[in-house]
A and B are shown apart, each in its own frame.
Chain A
Amino acid sequence: MNRREWLKCMSMLAVGAVTAPSLLAVFDAHAAAQRADTTAPFFTKQQSDVVAAVADIILPQSDTPGAVEAGVPRFIDQMFRDVYTKEEQQHYVHALAAFEKAGSKPFLQLDAAQRKALVTRLHEEALAKSNLNPASASAFVLMTKKLTMLGFFMSQPGCTEVLQYVAVPGAYHADIPLSQAGNGKAWAIEAELTI
């Protein structure tokens, strides 16, 4: 499975779990952000602020940290800078520009309720479409959602405060009540079977 296909087809992930190394290891935007990084960021300040604001709507701070606290905006920047192809970069930048024009005002000038309403509407639009234009405003929201999830659920706060993570389990219990599986939340890292 192509490492980029997960962004197009999440339902294939179980296949990936059997055969591909793709998704199941992880990232800490915190750690990366703390490293000396002399390379220029991918996004402009304006673009970066929009990405951060959308990430904050997708996974907000609550009783646990949200995407911004977990360093997700920096993670998304690094993914576009070093991982995605030129074509994918261009699609995302064009999609971001379309997103800026999708509301009654530029996104950062909307109030909180308007921002959330716009993101929610475009997200629903994206899910309803079978053939999404990758440079469209709704594609921007869906791609940002997926990258926000990836960055967040593989960060330390995502793994340890929202999900649960044990570095060295020491034992395997195959069939136990959900309530007795640690704190009963989903495990951060699923069993990866690499054959």
Chain B
Amino acid sequence: MDKNTYDAIVVGTGVSGGWAAKELTEKGLKTLVLDRGPMVKHGDYPTAMKAPWELPYADQPTREDVARHPIHTRPSFYGIKQSTKHWFVDDIDNPYEETRPFDWFRGYHVGGRSLMWGRQSYRFSQMDFEANAKEGVGVDWPIRYEDVAPWYDYVEEFIGVSGSVEHLPQLPDGQFLPPMELTCVEKDFRDKLAGKFGRKLIIGRTANLSAPLKHDKSPQRAPCQYRNLCMRGCPFGAYFSSNSSTLPAAEKTGNMTMVTNAIVYELIYDNAKGKATGVRVQDAETGHQTDYFARVIFVCASTFGTTQILLNSTSSRFPNGFGNDSGEVGHNIMDHLFGSGAQALADGYEDRYYSGRRPNGFYIPRYRNVGKDKRKYLRGFGYQGSARREDWTRLADMPAIGEELKRAAETPGPWRVSMMGFGEMLPSHRNRVTLDHNRKDKYGLPLLNFDAAHEENEILMGKEIIDDAMEMLTAAGYRDVQSFKIEANVGAGIHEMGTARMGRDPKTSVLNGWNQMHACKNVFITDGSCMTSSACQNPSLTYMALTARAASHAVDELKRGNI
């Protein structure tokens, strides 16, 4: 047992697990870090430097690729292409059930989805932390903005977030590296939105290094080279991933032991001690089972990975799943409204262009239900988009062929503005995931069964996302304004949250204000499952801040002898 005993165990190595590993090891804890997939060391990105012509099939997925990802490719093909498909698990070996359709995109490898994330990094605001209590929705967050603000500072400074200072109460500023620039048409749109609507359009806040980091703790990270191939993994370390940032920091302490291919299938509870004592692990390749022990456990296996472990960890104390006295584990699934927006063409800037490939776009922060604005629905949405010149693809449905086609392709096309909404989804007890004990995956774990859908508030908001986008593009004087709506189930935003929520009352929530399990104080959960509401901002930055905050508290509590 001794050789399998550590001070701390971290389950998962995505944005949250990487941060937990860094913080706990830097505070001196001997920490076992487990990931269910294979090792990916920083730099081990097989397609990162491939030229366009070095990828087969124009980077499209083959029939075989689609056959291995029949559910994943159903709505969006996100990432299933020759250059990035190796980062995504397939649906054959990793099945799940859908009482109602759900899009679940997963990456099982060290670094998790921090390798493929969209890197947009926004703080939640006081308005977001107060909304549930004010409106009587779900349960109240047990924390407020001021509790998290110093931790936002802390993680932004370490990972590097590029952005502009805007003084917006609904979107607090952070510790920013220089903002990236807007294109000429984005600036035109910004000015028109300000003039006609009093709304802001800002450059996206992104975890890409627009300048060197302000600290010297990540010598492996260099500024962005503007290739915009982030999702393949960046050999320059120019965007934040666990692989490029937090895991090297944890490794440097000498306190981290990493075990890969380690599927945690159960948390071990000791009735006498009233604590978790460790985790049960199955090797993904050999099936060999091992128990590991520690004084504190951080579960950061991703929202549904964590949920699966909790629901699968039953005992006389926890017959309905680990820490599930409230019955809320698996409930209150949230994602962001995704896939709807509008686009248009803008004239008058034919002599302007850009160089380099910006891994970022513009952002229109939430303006609905802010200040005096009141809608029929609760909460709001932001838009992400860009304005850039069309490429050769515009010519496919135009008359030119022959030398005329070649010459036309050499000229940049018209400017196209495109914007898509990201809307807040309310927590609802009806939106849930359960375990199906009658069907198991090849590792013997019961399958997750999803049962979630957008409800009335989301449907009302979804309509306004399209209407507002059309109205703004039209008012800006652009032509050929068209809406779009991509088939997207809950989950398509890849911002899943809520299935082990924080709250003040153990009867209605799973975690307290320190991401600490109400019913078992030495278990902390800091991935998306901890979220009490979803806001409309991309949530990863908040997971990082909550993780660093929880790790600090966990170490303090260990020192005090409280856990």
Known contacts: A60-B402, A151-B58, A171-B356. The answer to whether A23 contacts B52 by CB under 8 A is no
Pair B351/A177 contact, Cβ less than 8 Å: yes
Known contacts: A19-B339, A123-B401. The answer to whether A172 contacts B358 by CB under 8 A is yes
Contact of A28 among B54, B184, B358, B385 (CB under 8 A): B54
Contacts of A20 in B (CB 8 A): 76-78, 486
Chain B 354-391 interface residues, beta-carbon cutoff 8 Å to A: 354-361, 384-386, 388-391
Q: Does A140 reach chain B (CB closer than 8 Å)?
A: no
Size band of the B side of the interface?
35 or more
Pair B399/A123 contact, Cβ less than 8 Å: yes
Interface centre among A3, A17, A25 (most CB of B within 10 A): A25
Contacts of B59 in A (CB 8 A): 21, 24-27, 154
- In the complex formed, the residue of A with least CB distance to B78 is A21
Contacts of B61 in A (CB 8 A): 3, 83
Contacts of A191 in B (CB 8 A): 228, 354, 357-359, 386, 388
Shortest Cβ distance from residue B147 to the other chain A in the assembled complex, whole angstroms: 28
Contacts of B406 in A (CB 8 A): 59-60, 62, 64, 162
Shortest Cβ distance from residue A68 to the other chain B in the assembled complex, whole angstroms: 13
Pair A185/B410 contact, Cβ less than 8 Å: yes
Complex CA–CA separation, A73 to B78 (angstroms) = 28
Pair A27/B118 contact, Cβ less than 8 Å: no
Known contacts: A60-B402, A83-B60. The answer to whether A186 contacts B392 by CB under 8 A is yes
Contacts of B341 in A (CB 8 A): 15, 18
Pair B355/A58 contact, Cβ less than 8 Å: no
Contacts of A25 in B (CB 8 A): 52, 55, 58-59, 81-83
Pair A173/B418 contact, Cβ less than 8 Å: no
Pair A172/B63 contact, Cβ less than 8 Å: no
Shortest Cβ distance from residue B374 to the other chain A in the assembled complex, whole angstroms: 29
Shortest Cβ distance from residue A126 to the other chain B in the assembled complex, whole angstroms: 9
Shortest Cβ distance from residue A101 to the other chain B in the assembled complex, whole angstroms: 21
Shortest Cβ distance from residue A120 to the other chain B in the assembled complex, whole angstroms: 7
Known contacts: A25-B55, A195-B118. The answer to whether A169 contacts B352 by CB under 8 A is no
Complex CA–CA separation, A168 to B50 (angstroms) = 11
Contacts of B58 in A (CB 8 A): 23, 25-27, 75, 79, 150-151, 154
- In the complex formed, the residue of B with least CB distance to A126 is B397
Contacts of B343 in A (CB 8 A): 14-15
Report how many residues on chain A are interfacial, defined by Cβ distance under 8 Å. Answer: 86
Pair A21/B228 contact, Cβ less than 8 Å: no
Contact of B52 among A83, A154, A185, A186 (CB under 8 A): A154
- In the complex formed, the residue of A with least CB distance to B76 is A20
Binds B, one of A5-13, A43-51, A92-100, A102-110: A5-13
Contacts of B226 in A (CB 8 A): 169-172
Q: Does B109 reach chain A (CB closer than 8 Å)?
A: no
Q: Does A42 reach chain B (CB closer than 8 Å)?
A: no
Q: What per-residue 1/0 map shows which CB atoms of A119-156 lie under 8 Å from chain B?
A: 11001100100000000000000000110011101111
Chain A 37-90 interface residues, beta-carbon cutoff 8 Å to B: 57-60, 62, 64, 75, 78-79, 82-85
Contacts of A189 in B (CB 8 A): 52, 228, 357
Contacts of B361 in A (CB 8 A): 18, 193, 195
- In the complex formed, the residue of B with least CB distance to A170 is B225
A/B interface sample: 29 pairs, CB < 8 A: A2-B77, A11-B394, A19-B339, A19-B420, A20-B486, A21-B59, A21-B78, A21-B231, A22-B60, A23-B393, A25-B59, A26-B55, A27-B56, A124-B399, A150-B58, A154-B52, A159-B51, A159-B52, A163-B392, A165-B52, A174-B184, A174-B186, A177-B352, A184-B353, A186-B391, A190-B388, A191-B386, A194-B231, A195-B361
Q: When A and B form their complex, which 4 residue pairs have the shortest distance between CB atoms, in order from nearest?
A: A28-B53, A26-B52, A25-B59, A174-B181
